[in-house]
Amino acid sequence: MNPERKVEIKLWDWFKTHGENVIEIYFNSINEVGAPIFKVSGEQKIPDLLIETFNPLKNANEFIAVEVKDASKSINVRSARKIYDVYLLNYINKKTKYLIKNKEIKINHFAIATQYSPNGRLTKKETLEFNENVRGKSWGNKVVWYFEYSRTKENYRGMLASYSEYRKNKKLKGIELPSIGIIISDVLKKFDIKELEIMPDVIGRPIFQCTKYNKNNFKNGGFKQCLMSI
């Protein structure tokens, strides 16, 4: 079994056992755990997993396309940006369709995840930093974390900046498009910095940290940062 497949199975188990709203996990090929499979048509480049989850705010099922990386080498996480550069843009530009049992489905979100996602970060060793933009704000740990892991934050912010620039250049302001982000965990909410420095491997529940469409957020072209339980 290759290292990335081991990470996929680890995440599959975590989503199944710790996810609050997970309905099903789909792999892109026949797998060791007997999970169902999804396929694509058109441009054949394909992410590793699909998470079918229930969104209680919309009272509807949604799908998250996930690019999984073995982050034993941090450079692998940087290459995971193809979740934006390839998969998201192919989907927006109608080059790729996603299918389950030969039926087309709508992809609502695109995300990166690694074996360290259950620990609240994307890479093995990272430094925690306080988010000064959230100091004294009531929306801390609701929209943006009070503190974050530095490399994870860097990868996440880079994707958001690229997506924002793309929407601006293509004049897509105010148009509903899929969200993009990372899957980490709620340990950033449950524990403080000192506790996480002592317990770096503690496991939390899956959280999708993203920028997603919000029709009321005119300032940022209809997109707003969000922390969403999976």
**Average pLDDT of the segment spanning 119-134:** 85
**CB 186, CB 204: distance < 8 Å:** yes
- Tens-digit pLDDT profile for residues 27-48: 999 999 999 999 999 988 899 9
- Tens-digit pLDDT profile for residues 95-113: 999 999 999 999 999 999 9
CA-CA distance, 158 to 197, in Å (whole number)?
A: 25
CA-CA distance, 117 to 172, in Å (whole number)?
A: 31
CA-CA distance, 126 to 97, in Å (whole number)?
A: 36
pTM value? Answer: 0.93
Q: With left for phi above 0 and alpha for psi between -120 and 50, is residue 221 left, alpha or beta?
A: left
When pLDDT is cut at 50, 70 and 90, the band that residue 168 belongs to is confident
On the question of pLDDT at 76 being above 90, the answer is: no
So where are the chain's domains? 3-229
Instruction: Give the HSE-up count for residue 69: Cα atoms under 13 Å, Cβ half-sphere.
Output: 23
- Percent of the chain whose predicted confidence (pLDDT) is above 70: 92
**CB 215, CB 201: distance < 8 Å:** no
H/E stretch holding 224 reads strand 223-229
**Average pLDDT of the segment spanning 159-164:** 90
pLDDT score at 142: 65
On the question of pLDDT at 140 being above 80, the answer is: no
Q: How high does pLDDT run on average in the chain?
A: 89
